[in-house]
Amino acid sequence: EVQLVQSGAEVKKPGESLRISCKGSGYSFTSYWISWVRQMPGKGLEWMGRIDPSDSYTNYSPSFQGHVTISADKSISTAYLQWSSLKASDTAMYYCARHGNEGGDFDSWGQGTLVTVSS
Amino acid sequence: SYVLTQPPSVSVAPGKTARITCGGKNIGSKSVHWYQQKAGQAPVLVIYYDSDRPSGIPERVSGSNSGNTATLTISRVEAGDEADYYCQVWDTSSVVFGGGTKLTVL
């Protein structure tokens, strides 16, 4: 069974750093890309960027370029989403999702990680 | 940047047919994927490549795509279909989601 298991909820203060994770199992981790998707409270889905775990090539949405970093460690089948300095506006649910190469659908999603940034 | 437009809400009585549209410039030339998101849950793929159904998705869920509009059709709507639905395409190496449509079963 294909599974993407994300790390648990986080509560952080503005200015703090954070890294959340997404561990894939039940498939060849390097055969699929991983994207990260943000969902702010009561709002829709926003694509942040993606990584090809086989070579760690990344591509970011212009809206998120420079604000987050996506990385992966293929030796442990895990992708990461990282912030160096959180803002209150980063409060949201974050999902990872698996997909084939460009054009493909997101056929498996993580359960989501809720990030709350508050002073 | 490419924009996908969905109606914010669609309401339908049980047993009837719900149609959720996704508008975009020449969207018929792109592949459209659809996701269902129930309250408090992660999204689930319900239609891929315009009209294909993943295993486990009932035949009463279908999709089409032509011209400037893609459509998700749910026949014989049930209470369990109540959810938010999102269309998605790729454009210039980026992923674009529609704003989402809340399907309410009356």
What are the tens digits of pLDDT across the range A26-47? 999 999 999 999 999 999 999 9
- Whether A42 and chain B come into contact, CB under 8 Å, resolves to no
Considering only CA atoms, which of A28, A39, A31 is closest in space to residue A91?
A39
Cβ A47–B97 below 8 Å, yes or no? yes
Q: Tell me, what's the pLDDT at B106?
A: 95
**pLDDT above 90 (res B101):** yes
Question: In the structure, what pLDDT confidence band is assigned to residue B89 with cuts at 50, 70 and 90?
Answer: very high
Question: In the structure, what pLDDT confidence band is assigned to residue A18 with cuts at 50, 70 and 90?
Answer: very high
C-alpha to C-alpha distances, B91 to A81, A89, A102, B31, nearest whole angstrom: 22, 26, 9, 10
pLDDT-above-70 percentage for chain A: 100
Task: Report how far residue B55's alpha carbon sits from residue A23's, in angstroms, rounded to the nearest whole number.
Answer: 23
- Whether A107 and chain B come into contact, CB under 8 Å, resolves to yes
Tokens representing residue B49 in the block? 């490549």
A100 phi/psi in degrees, rounded to 5: -70, -160
| Mean pLDDT along residues A66-74 | 97
Residue A78, beta-bridge partner list = A23, A73
Residue type at B93? S
| Mean pLDDT along residues A68-73 | 98
| Mean pLDDT along residues A46-66 | 97
- Residue among A45, A59, A112 whose CB faces B97 most closely: A45
Q: Which residues of B touch A111 (CB under 8 A)?
A: 42
**pLDDT above 90 (res B43):** yes
Q: Tell me, what's the pLDDT at B53?
A: 98
Strands annotated E in B5-98: 9-12, 18-23, 33-37, 44-47, 61-66, 69-74, 83-91, 94-97
Q: Tell me, what's the pLDDT at A101?
A: 82
C-alpha to C-alpha distances, A9 to A21, A113, B17, B18, nearest whole angstrom: 11, 5, 38, 35
A43 phi/psi in degrees, rounded to 5: -115, -175
Question: In the structure, what pLDDT confidence band is assigned to residue B87 with cuts at 50, 70 and 90?
Answer: very high
Average pLDDT of chain A is 97
Q: Tell me, what's the pLDDT at A99?
A: 94
Q: Tell me, what's the pLDDT at B91?
A: 94
- Residue among A45, A61, A102 whose CB faces B86 most closely: A45
Task: Report how far residue A104's alpha carbon sits from residue B47's, in angstroms, rounded to the nearest whole number.
Answer: 12
**pLDDT above 90 (res A102):** no
Task: Report how far residue A44's alpha carbon sits from residue A42's, in angstroms, rounded to the nearest whole number.
Answer: 7
| Mean pLDDT along residues A83-107 | 95
**pLDDT above 90 (res A103):** no
Q: What is the DSSP letter of A53?
A: T
The alpha carbon of residue B45 is apart from the nearest alpha carbon of chain A, in Å, by 6
pLDDT-above-70 percentage for chain B: 100
> For chain A, first and last CA: distance in Å?
40
